[in-house]
Structure 1
């Protein structure tokens, strides 16, 4: 079962978090996890989600829970 998390004051599903990082639709997303790193912009907690924006891509997205900072890393 997918675990929802609070990001910037809103509860988000793994798929919604992936869509925020990707700025668009994604096909599938795994569970949201703690990234064990601090946001470079505000020092807040960062979460990560692994997702597929297309059939051939696997991406890990990172998102600060407190500010707009986000980053994507292709596998």
Structure 2
């Protein structure tokens, strides 16, 4: 599934990466379930891999219900 509802609005992989990173990524992979709960509200967490620059690949995690997010460089 390529689109998901996050904080009440439909997002694509690119727009989810932008929510997490704060700016548009160069490229993004498909949105996936992260199989974990949000530490802030207990909601469902999803993940997306993206390239914020030519030399970096990041996995971003975002709660579907609140503003919590975190990143992990690969």
Fold similarity call, TM over 0.5:
yes
Could you tell me which runs of 5 or more consecutive residues in structure 1 were left unpaired when the two chains were aligned: none
Q: Please name the residue that 1:67 is paired with.
A: 66
1:55 deviates by: 0.6
| RMSD (CA atoms) | 0.9
Deviation string 1:21-72 (CA, Å, 9 cap, x unpaired) is: 0011210000000000000000000000000001100000000000000001
Normalization by structure 2: what TM-score? 0.97
Structure number having the greater strand percentage: 2
Could you tell me which runs of 5 or more consecutive residues in structure 2 were left unpaired when the two chains were aligned: none
Structure 1 runs (4+) greater than 4 angstroms displaced: none
Q: Please name the residue that 2:31 is paired with.
A: 32
Normalization by structure 1: what TM-score? 0.96
Residues of 2 paired with 1:23 and 1:40: CA distance? 21
Alignment coverage as a number of residue pairs: 74
Residues of 2 paired with 1:15 and 1:6: CA distance? 13
Q: Please name the residue that 2:57 is paired with.
A: 58
